Structure formats: C-alpha cells, structure tokens
Amino acid sequence: MTPQGAVVGRQAMACRRGEERYAAEALACLGVPILHTVCGTGIFETACFLWVDEATVILGSGNRANYEGCRQLEEILAGIGVENFIYLQIPYGYAHIDSLICFVDRTTALFDPARLPGDVWSTLTDLGVRLWEAPSAEETQELALNLVALEPGKVLMATGFPETRDFLLRRGIEAQEIDVSELRKGWGSLHCMTAILKRDPLGRIF
C-alpha cells in the first residue's frame, strides 16, 4: 500500500463505524458466540490478528488497530487458552498483517523481508515456523501475500503475481489464481473478503 493508500485507510476507519452491528447480527444468525466487542477507545480490525498455533497469536497495531484494542483482545484470548502474544507494529502505508505475512502450510509462512520486524521473525523461527522471503518486493507491495490458505499446501491467490506464484509452485505449494482486480482497486484482496469462523486444533483455518 502506498502512502496515499494509508490516507485512504484512515478515512475508511471513520466511514466503517457502525459495521459492528451488522456483523453481530450476521454472527448471531449463524449461531456464532460473541465473546467480546472492542469498545471504549479501542480500535481493532480482525486482519490485524494472525493465528500462529493454538497457543500463539500475532497482534498488529497501526492505523487500523491501537494498543487498547490489542489489550482487550489479548484479555479475551488469554481466557480461551492463548498463552503467547507477539506484538507487531504495522508499518506506515499498510493496514493489516495479511499484507506482511501469510501461512501457506501448517508451519510455513511467506513474509515481506523488508517490513516484518526482526523480533517477530526471531520469535516465529524459535517457535519452529519455516519462513520464506517473498521473491518480489514489487509484487509484495501490491498485496501478493494477501492470499487464502484453503488447506495445508494449497492456497488461493489473486492473479497478476507470477513471481510469487512460481516461487510457491517450485516449493510444492499449489497456488490457484482468481481475478479480483476490482477489489484491488480499493487496496484489498482475497484475504480481505474472508471471515474465519472455524479453525483446526493448530489454530489456523485450513
């Protein structure tokens, strides 16, 4: 996301106020329990959150999530068994974690080497996560990592990122493509329009 995209992101925060009501109604209709709604001065969008395993999560703060929002989420997650919280400062010009790192298998993640903080890299490595550097800085900046893992070793990604696609294929990851060019005009991609409602015992949705 460019700096211009960051400005758009801040404007989007204001216009999205009130969506919580409709999300809550949809979840209630599906029978999904709501453990907490971020409130007060807290701000948090779910794409600023990433499961690593059943006891570990990454919480990102930036222009779509603040410390108070992260604190509230940490409090709730600690009550359901999460023990390890990795904090990540999302860099200027980016809205969410899913532009910086994505899991493509149970213990393998593709990441942006220019923007993932070193302490986060070290912590994930110590936890046994295999980290692959994204092959194209240009494609990564255009949201190539904003993809969806359908199952271990199988992902759905946007068209237009041949270097990233071929990189994954050479490493045994099946990469299916779909055209989401209209969504990308608003600096969004596949992961932006998904909602994780069920997860496997390792924490990630596969």
pLDDT at 163: 98
pLDDT at 83: 95
- Measured distance CA(58)–CA(96) in Å, rounded: 11
Does residue 78 sit within a domain? yes
pLDDT at 206: 44
HSE-CB at 45 with a 13 A cutoff on CA atoms is 25
Does residue 200 sit within a domain? no
Which stretch of 13-27, 67-81, 105-119, 120-134 has the lowest confidence by average pLDDT?
A: 13-27
Q: Of 169, 145, 166, 139, give the one whose Cα is nearest residue 157.
A: 145
CATH number at residue 64: 3.75.10.10
Does residue 111 sit within a domain? yes
Does residue 69 sit within a domain? yes
pLDDT exceeds 70 at position 166: yes
pLDDT at 202: 53
Does residue 202 sit within a domain? no
Q: Of 61, 124, 73, give the one whose Cα is nearest residue 97.
A: 61
pLDDT at 8: 46
pLDDT exceeds 80 at position 167: yes
- Please, which pLDDT band fits residue 20 given cuts at 50, 70 and 90? confident
What domain count does the chain have?
1
User: The domain containing residue 89 runs over which residues?
Assistant: 3-193
Does residue 164 sit within a domain? yes
Does residue 33 sit within a domain? yes
pLDDT exceeds 80 at position 197: no
pLDDT top residue among 193 and 91: 91
Q: Of 112, 167, 119, 164, give the one whose Cα is nearest residue 141.
A: 112
Predicted model pTM: 0.85
Does residue 180 sit within a domain? yes
